[in-house]
Amino acid sequence: MNIGVLGCGNVGAALIQLVSSSADEIEGRTGLRLEVTRVAVRSLSKERDVELPAKVFTTDASEVVNDPAVDLVVEVIGGIEPARQLVLDALAAGKPVVTANKELIANHGTELFAASDDAGVDLLFEAAVAGGVPFIRPLRESLVGEDVSRVMGIVNGTTNYILTKMTEEGWTYAEALAEAQSLGYAERDPTADVEGFDAGAKAAIIATIAFGKKVVAGDVSHEGIADISATDIAFANRLGYQIKLLGIAEQFEDESIAVRVHPAMVPDQHPLASVRDSFNAIFLEGEAVGELMFFGRGAGGFPTASAVLGDTVDAAANLAKATHASLGTFAKAKIRTIDDLHYRYYLNLEVSDRPGVLAAVANLFGKHAVSIHSMEQDSLVSDESSSARDAGLARLIFITHEAKESDVRATLHELRDLEAVNSIGSVLRVIENPD
Ligand SMILES: NC(=O)c1ccc[n+]([C@@H]2O[C@H](COP(=O)([O-])OP(=O)(O)OC[C@H]3O[C@@H](n4cnc5c(N)ncnc54)[C@H](OP(=O)(O)O)[C@@H]3O)[C@@H](O)[C@H]2O)c1
């Protein structure tokens, strides 16, 4: 089984090494011998940590796709074009495709799934959701009859690393981001990670496969972690929560689907609260199965290549049997916007420390039918709070009962206009413990 690999970067080079080191084992188990026979790269002069003859490499990716000796194509270039066209060309030529490209699947998945069905060959993308953590295959195979109601994932290792360091080391957001960049976890431009776009692409793929409806990256509402402060983390921890950036895909009884990415307060007892550093985890709730969690390395060359290799062996075995795993057709999902969702909320306000202010603030909550579960006045001893106290300010932390997002937004809008409110810090949604 000859494999053409498009891209030889972090994932591609690790995959080429894994194919070579595990070829005997795979042959013993499946009867198929995998060999990488063509590799497309951008530059032929770069040093690469792979043992392949120079003639295997080309800068023309379409040459790999169109090589009659290539049976199966792995796309690990990334981005939309030329990856999309190369994948379509490979499928049209009857070659199964394995990709790790979340951006491509989240934006053009249904077009590519249809092309794979038309051609009768596999398009597999396990690594596009949580790197090395198997989730798509369990979801499509083990859980095929399951009525999945909600999937919540920590699917971006960079932001989980930043939040972990802020929590455990007391670092500021900027310090934690700088360290993530120096370790190579975060890009020099960290927007895709910290603003939630990367997690949003993954959440769209999860929603599509979990609910069998077309959800694209543009359907996902995003909030990132850049505004999370040390104060938020300290209060969350004291109240028994960890702050995590979650991608959440949920289906309601009317079959509408909500997909969003935002930081959330996760109770200490919840399995997702213990997911630290750059690890990923996906927590699934299903009617019959109850709760499941998948945990592991969501990024890195070898963990990601491990998932790509699993897909490659699967696709090769299906090709040998002249079969493929159909993804079916996907109708456009009815999207429920975040405004219509209900949560408990954490709100952090800095107000004038004088009589009557609390009543005025509480009055606004009441006006918008947002009922308060608990309230605390600042008692944290920190430099920030003592300087605020000197300025005649106090911090009020509210946790609400379950309220509608649009009502909370309306409350915040009016709170901003209240003369006694100096500033409004983070507004975080609170996740409940599993039943
Ligand atoms: N890295 C991870 O931890 C991770 C995790 C999950 C998913 N993924 C996904 O895996 C994919 C690859 O990621 P990566 O980290 O391996 O990227 P990378 O290190 O930037 O590697 C990209 C490779 O593609 C080659 N390339 C780029 N444009 C090309 C073109 N037009 N024609 C031929 N080759 C081209 C590059 O060639 P040169 O080497 O010559 O520049 C490079 O070898 C992406 O879709 C990414 O989202 C990555």
**Position 253 pLDDT exceeds 50:** yes
Instruction: Indicate the burial class of 383 (C-beta count within 10 angstroms; 0-12, 13-18, 19 or more).
Output: exposed
Class of domain 2-132+301-331: alpha beta
**CA-to-CA dists, residue 160 to 47, 148, 163, 280, 299, angstroms:** 32, 25, 5, 8, 12
Specify the fold of 338-430: Alpha-Beta Plaits (3.30.70)
Report the pLDDT averaged over residues 273-298.
97
Ligand 1 site residues (CB inside 6 A) read: 6-12, 40-43, 46, 61, 76-78, 82, 100-102, 127, 131, 299-300, 304
Report which protein residue has its CA nearest ligand 1's atom 10: 100
Question: Which atom in ligand 1 lies closest to the alpha carbon of residue 300?
Answer: 3
**CA-to-CA dists, residue 107 to 16, 120, 336, 374, angstroms:** 27, 22, 19, 41
User: How many angstroms separate the alpha carbon of residue 13 from the centre of ligand 1?
Assistant: 9
User: How many angstroms separate the alpha carbon of residue 10 from the centre of ligand 1?
Assistant: 7
Tokens (6 digits) for 47:
């040093």
Span 379-411, pLDDT tens digits: 544 555 566 666 788 899 999 999 999 999 999
User: How many angstroms separate the alpha carbon of residue 303 from the centre of ligand 1?
Assistant: 15
Calculate what percentage of the chain has a pLDDT beyond 70: 97
Rounded Cα distance, 97 and 91, in Å: 7
Span 158-197, pLDDT tens digits: 999 999 999 999 999 999 999 999 998 888 899 999 999 9
- Establish whether 202 is a catalytic residue: yes
Rounded Cα distance, 299 and 186, in Å: 11
**Position 261 pLDDT exceeds 90:** yes
Q: Which pLDDT score, from 0 to 100, does residue 328 have?
A: 79
Q: Please identify which of the residues 95, 102, 165, 202 carries the catalytic annotation.
A: 202
Let me know: does 173 contact 425? Beta carbons within 8 Å. no
Question: Which atom in ligand 1 lies closest to the alpha carbon of residue 59?
Answer: 33
Probe residue for ligand 1, chosen from 48, 57, 77, 309 as the CB with the greatest number of ligand atoms within 8 Å:
77
Class of domain 144-295: alpha beta
Confirm whether 2-132+301-331 and 338-430 share one CATH topology.
Answer: no
Q: Which pLDDT score, from 0 to 100, does residue 410 have?
A: 97
**CA-to-CA dists, residue 146 to 252, 349, 386, angstroms:** 15, 42, 53
User: How many angstroms separate the alpha carbon of residue 304 from the centre of ligand 1?
Assistant: 12
Q: Which pLDDT score, from 0 to 100, does residue 433 have?
A: 85
Sorted by where each begins, the domain ranges of the chain are 2-132+301-331, 144-295, 338-430
User: How many angstroms separate the alpha carbon of residue 88 from the centre of ligand 1?
Assistant: 18
